[in-house]
Amino acid sequence: MNLSLLHPKVNTIVREAGVYIQKQQGQVKAQEISDKSLNNLVSYVDKTAEQLLVKKLSILLPEAGFLTEEKTVTQTEKPLRWIIDPLDGTTNFLFGLPIYSVSVALAQDEDILLGAVYIPVLDELFSATKNGGAFLNNQPISVSKTTTLADSLAATGFPYYKFEQVERYMAMFEKYMRGTRGIRRLGSAAVDLVYVACGRFDFYFEFDLNPWDIAAGLLIVAEAGGQTSDFAGTGSAFSGKEILASNGLLHGFLLEG
């Protein structure tokens, strides 16, 4: 598999899905929106965008399986698989907010080989290949050089459907609210991660996500020189259950509790 050849082709497909999504903003009727679970919204736009991605990625790499949020294709346990969130930030999209993204990763088991995150409204395409660097619209990017929490800007995602970790989350939130320049909540984990990668945020933390929310972003952060882990620093963030992403320089301070 030649990742350098796959990279631009995947970028083109991801951008196409994002263009479709942006054209649909403001067109979705109330009766076309449903709850997958508490506060977890979905519409035909998510599903159609996923179908577009699956169809074209299947042609590009027929041997790969799929792990997708909307499950419009059979979920396969193949070691090599595409991990897809067709619309990360669905609530933002449906309420007319401009922060949402398309996130696609290619992984061998939990080893992420390629990732792309596209923010349609800003026409920003972040991408990376393993050991190939990270890019924004084909220009190299790197994480920030901030070395102290007091000078840092943080990002997070609030619990909105699973509340078992609220007390632990609020303790972290208070700590970083008091100890940083501020905390931002944009509503798309994929965007939060690529913003760490390009230095707009210094670190990001969240509970209770899924691999499709973060897989592409994890690689992009790593290839931009950053670091990701669970909150203890002893495990991978791949599952999404605990994710801490930083410029690397701050990671040790963040793990101190």
Residues 13 and 130 placed together within one structural domain of the fold: yes
Which of 108, 101, 149 has its CA nearest to residue 127? 101
Q: Which of 140, 168, 184 is the last residue of a domain?
A: 140
Residues 65 and 173 placed together within one structural domain of the fold: no
Mean pLDDT, residues 113-117 taken together: 98
Which of 59, 102, 60 has its CA nearest to residue 83? 102
Residues 17 and 65 placed together within one structural domain of the fold: yes
Residue 115 has pLDDT above 60, yes or no: yes
Residues 119 and 11 placed together within one structural domain of the fold: yes
| 128-187: pLDDT as tens digits | 999 999 999 999 999 999 999 999 999 999 876 667 778 888 899 999 999 999 999 999
Residues 90 and 71 placed together within one structural domain of the fold: yes
Q: Where are the alpha helices (DSSP H) in the chain?
A: 3-24, 44-60, 90-94, 166-179, 189-197, 211-223, 251-254
Q: What are φ and ψ of residue 200, in 5° steps?
A: -75, -35
Structural domain of 48? 3-140
CATH number at residue 72: 3.30.540.10
Whole-number pLDDT of residue 39: 47
CATH number at residue 191: 3.40.190.80
What is the count of structural domains for the chain? 2
Q: Which of 121, 140, 159 is the last residue of a domain?
A: 140
Q: Which of 81, 114, 140 is the last residue of a domain?
A: 140
